[in-house]
Structure 1
Amino acid sequence: NGAYIHQCVIRRARNGISRAVSNALLDMYAKCGDIGSASQSFTEISERDLLTWSIMIWGWTFHGSLENALECFEQMKSTGIKPDGAVFLAMLAAFSHSGQVDSGLELFNSMQHEYFIKPTLKHYTLVVDLYGRAGKLDPALRFLESMPISPDFMVWGALFCACRARKNIQMAELVSKKLVELEHKHPGKYIFLSNVYACVGRWKNVDRVRAHMQNLKIEKDPGWSYIEVNGQIHSFVAGDRAHENVEEIYSKLEEIVSGAKEHGYMPETESVLHNIEEEEKEEHLGSHSEKWALAFGLIRTPPGMLIRIMKNLRICSDSRSIVKHASKVSKREIMVRDVRRFHHFKDGCCPCRDHW
C-alpha cells in the first residue's frame, strides 16, 4: 500500500515531491523493512535536512548495518549539518548492536565535548547497553552508578538484560532489587530473573519467582508472530495449534529442526521448565510463534522469495539459530522484525554478528 501511494505521489507531483513528503516516504520504507527502497528514496532527495539524515541513519541502525549508518553519519557531517541528540542515539544503538564498545564510547564523549550536547537518560541507557552486550558488566555497573542523573527503570533494565544474557546471577539479583524499587509490578523484571535462574539450574528460585508473580497477578504477554502471504495476514501464537494447516506446518518445522541438528544445532533447553523431560523441552521450544510463521512461509511462498516475519517480543537465541539454518538451507533471505529491530538472515548469517 505504501509503495502504491508513493507511485501516486510521483504521478501527481508536477513540481517535484516536497521534502516533507520525501522524508515521510523514507521513514515508511525503513520502518516497513524495505531498507533497499528507503536507500533508493534517500538518493533521490536532492535537498536533505537534519530530519532526512536522521531517518536514514536510524533506518540503517534498525536494520543492523553499522557500516552504512556510519557512512551516512560521516556524509551528513561533511555537508555541514551538525548531528543532534537523536542522531547520536541512533549511532550509539548501531555501535551497541555491533559490539563496538570503544567506538561507541568515543562517540558518546564526542557528543558531549565536541558538540556540547547534554546526554539524556536514553543516551545513558544505550551506553549501559553498549557495555552489556559486549559482556562488560562491571564497567556497565560502574558507569551506571556514576551517572550525574538518577537512572530510571530503562537504564537498570538494560543492565538486567545483559546479566541474563551472561548468566550473571549475583549482579542480576542486585539489579532486580533496584527494578522492584522503581516499578514493583513490571512483569519484565520477574520474567527475566526467572529465566536467569533457569539458565543456571536454580529451579527453587525459579519456582519462588513464578509463585511471587502469581501472588501479584502478573502475567507474561503471550508471544505472537505474523506473516503476510499473497496479501493475507497469518497470525501465530506461542503454543497455539489452531491453524488450519497445523499438521503441514508442524511437519515442515520438524524437517527444519532435524536438518539443523545434522549441521550441529543443539536446542537451547536450559531455560525451559525443569519438571518436564528433555524431549518435551524441545517440543516447548518448537512452539515459539516465529518458528511456526517461518515454517508456514517456507511452505506457502515460492523458492527464492524473501520471507518477512513480525514478532511482538524479542526473538530468542534458539529461534535465531533455527532461522539462520533455514536461511542457508533454503537459500532464502529471511527478515524477522522483533520488538527491538530488524534481523536479516541470509546464507546462515545476520549482519549483527549475534550482538542482538
Structure 2
Amino acid sequence: MKVWKLDPGGDVGGGPSKQFEKDKIMDLIKEFNDLLIKMQALASKAGNLTATEATELKDGNARLAELKADIERAKESSGIAKALQGLIPEGTSGVKFIGLRSTRELAKAYTRGDGIHGMKAVVDNAEVGVPSLDTTPVTMGKPPRGLLDVMPSEPVSREYAYYRQVTRTNNAAFVAPGGTKPTSVVGLERIEGRLRVLAHLSESVDKYLLEDMRNVEQFIADELLYGLRVKLEDGLINGDGVGENVTGLANTSGVQVQEFVTDAILTARAALTKIELLAGDDVSAYYVMHPTDWEKIETARLDSGQYLATTAGGTAPIDRVARRLWGAPVVLSASGTGDGTSYLVRQDAVTLMHDGRVNIEWDKSQGFDKNEVKARVEGRFDVAVKNPLGVVKIALAGV
C-alpha cells in the first residue's frame, strides 16, 4: 500500500529516507503540541504552583523552545517546509482555516506551484494534509463560501485540553497606601476534548472504469470530500454531542441569546451590540444564516419600496456583493433551520480542531473477485467553543 506523500523535488512518493524525515518531523510536532497543552495548564495556575510544578513549567518551556528549533532545522534539511506549513504552531498572530473543497485544492498544499503531482491511480491511497492558510480568508468584496472558510482551525493531538473563562468578577479599585488590594475572579475552567472520526465510503466501482477514465476517480473522491464537508458543517452548527457527535453551536451552553426586535435587520444589529459590550471596538465576527433567512434580509425594502441593499450612497447595512450585514461577513449554511435561527460568532470564540490530515483511500480487497473497488474519505475533528459569550443565538423572526 502506497501513501500519498510529498517528494521535495515535486514528485509524490520519494524514497524511504524522505518518508523517515517527514515522520520524524510529525513526531516532533506531536510532542510539541502535547507538551504545549500541558504547559498551558500549568501556566494557568500561576501563583499557586508547587515547587515541583514550577520546575516542571520551567523545564517544559525550555523543551518547547528546543522542539521548535528542532522542527525548523528538520524542515530546512528535508526540504519539505512548504508541505508542513500550517501544522506547526506559530503564535497567536496567524489565524488558520481549512476549506475541504476538493482533492485538487488539498493537493495544492503539496505542490510547488507548477501543477499537481502524484494524483495516484486507484491502487494507491492518499494521506492529504489539511491545508491551513495564514491569511484572513474573507476580504472586502469576497463573500465566504462556507463556515469552514471563516472558522479558525487548530491541529491538535487525539486528546487535547484548554482553559475557558466561565465567569469574571472585576474588583479592581483605588487603594490607599498600606491598604489591602482587592482580588478579582477570572473563573477558568479546564475543558477536555478529543477528536472524532468523520468518514464515509463510496459504493463499489469497476476498477477498469477508473483506470480508463481517471477523471471519474477524482470525481468520486471529490464527492466524498464534499459530503464530509457538509456533514462537518452540520455538526458545527447542530451537533448534539451524543456518542461520537461533536457539540455544535445549537447545543452549546453559556452562549448569549438575542430575541427578535422589530425586524430581522435590527435584531442582527442588537446581536452585534452584545459582542461589542464584551469586546469594545475589537470586534471581528461573522453571521451564520440559512439562505432563506438571508434572502429575507437581502430583499428588505424601505417604506418607499426601494431595496435596502441598494440604498444610494452605499450607507445601507446590507452589502449584497460582499454578503455583509452591519459590516460583518455572512456565511450561508443549509444546515441551519431556516426558521430565523441564526448565529453571530466572534472570530476567536469557536475553533475547529483537527489532526492535520484527511485520508482518501481506495480498497480493492473486498471486491477482488469482481474487479471492484471502494473509496473511503475520513478525517478527525472536534469543536472547541473557547468563549461561549462570543456566540449569540439570534431569533431573526418574530414568534
So what's the TM-score if we normalise by structure 2?
0.26
User: Which has a greater percent of helix?
Assistant: 1
Q: Which has the higher contact order (CA 8 A, sep 6+)?
A: 2
Structure number with bigger Rg: 2
User: Which has a greater percent of strand?
Assistant: 2
So what's the TM-score if we normalise by structure 1?
0.28
